[in-house]
Amino acid sequence: MSEKKILVVEDEVKILEVVTSLLESRGYQVIQAVDGKEALVLFERENISLVLLDLMLPDISGEEVCHKIRGKSRVPIIMLTAKAEEEHLLNGLHIGADDYITKPFSLRELAARIEVILRRVSGELKPLYQSNYFEKGELVIDVEANILKKRGQQIKLTRSEWNLLLAFIKYPNKVFTRDELIQIALGEEYGGYDRTIDSHIKNLRQKIEDVPKSPAYIVTVHGKGYKFGGV
């Protein structure tokens, strides 16, 4: 059985209950929220695998909740909308929802959509290292101890370089955009030109690549960004 936690945000108690019992019967653990504020608090506290988010909530709108979650997480979000709200749908997808489903919906369809998205995400974002230790070729990364070694020699990284390296090894199949890498390396508040990230990448390559000009670990994906090539 799956141990995945799904956050269901819905102010209509009847829908909340029906969806909860459906998901629990499929082996998911359900965390319930009846408004946006509660949803954001619970999202912070729990390790959520997917969010099912009603668009019309009594306090902050589902759109805003979606936007706030997206500001800090790539967790899959499925929006629940009423028929009359369909013009919001494009907006919903624009603000970063992965999918939407229109009420009234069939429970079977809802369960199927959730399964598809969770399967897709676990394929895309499969962490490369199972523990806090990673070894590839001549690189050894001890995540917990903050130690990087190459050919047995310890290499010192700056905080930004370390953050970048961890993101790359954690999600080796993902192509990171410059914007994403800036957030990872420097934090959201950074407002600089996005090519700044290229110099961090360049420095990181100098430290870990055999031939920095022909990198094997931090690979450029033209027109998109960078990905980890050490898989």
Interface with Ca ion by CB under 5 A: which residues?
11, 54, 56
User: Which residue's Cβ lies closest to Ca ion?
Assistant: 56
In the complex, minimum distance from the CB of residue 127 to Ca ion, in angstroms, rounded to a whole number: 35
Least distance (Å) between residue 50 CB and Ca ion: 19
- Find out whether 227 and 172 touch, Cβ atoms under 8 Å: yes
**In this structure, what token pair is assigned to residue 21?**
């019992």
Q: What is the closest distance, in whole angstroms, from the C-beta atom of residue 106 to Ca ion in the complex?
A: 19
Separation between Cα atoms, residue 31 and residue 44, nearest integer Å: 12
How many Å apart are CA 165 and CA 10, to the nearest integer? Answer: 38
Output 88 or 227, the one with its CB closest to Ca ion. Answer: 88
Instruction: Give the shortest CB-213-to-Ca ion separation in angstroms.
Output: 55
**Cβ closest to Ca ion, residue 15 vs residue 22:** 15
Query: Which residue reads 């809802």 in tokens?
Result: 110
**Cβ 62 to Ca ion shortest distance, Å:** 8
- Which are the contacts of 207, defined by CB distance < 8 A and separation ≥ 6? 150, 155, 157, 161
| Closer residue to Ca ion (CB): 11 or 180 | 11
Nearer to Ca ion, 80 or 182 (CB): 80
Distance, in Å, from the CA atom of 191 to the CA atom of 188, rounded to the nearest integer, reads: 8
Number of H helices, E strands in the chain: 8, 11
Q: Element (H or E) spanning 41, and its range?
A: helix 36-45
Residue with smaller CB distance to Ca ion, 27 or 58: 58
> Least CB distance from residue 198 to Ca ion, whole Å?
45
Comparing CA positions, the residue from 30, 36, 38, 41 lying closest to residue 7 is 30
Q: How far is it, in rounded angstroms, from Cα 153 to Cα 140? A: 10
Decide whether 101 or 219 has the Cβ nearer to Ca ion: 101
